[in-house]
Amino acid sequence: MITTRKNRALRRYVYEPTSKDIRQACEEIQATWSPRERAKREREPRAAWWIPPIIWLPDLIEAIKGK
């Protein structure tokens, strides 16, 4: 059941879900996921595995000077 609360700033009733409401909605959505979808969403983002290359300042200076 969706409950509404009176918002004083807006002077009307609005839907403001509680953390329990949000958790329940997430569980309902996740219950529809296939095992493949669940595995895909449980992995860490690929960006977490990437490490930028280390560039040494002397090498950079040499490259700029053209040596």
Average pLDDT over residues 58-66: 89
The DSSP call for residue 5 is E
- Per residue in 6-57, pLDDT tens? 777 777 787 788 899 899 999 999 999 999 999 888 876 666 667 888 999 9
Provide the phi-psi class of 51: left if phi over 0, else alpha when psi is between -120 and 50, else beta. Answer: beta
Stronger pLDDT, 1 or 18, i.e. the higher one: 18
Bridge partners, 12 (sequence order): 7
How far is 60 from 4, CA to CA, in rounded Å?
Answer: 60
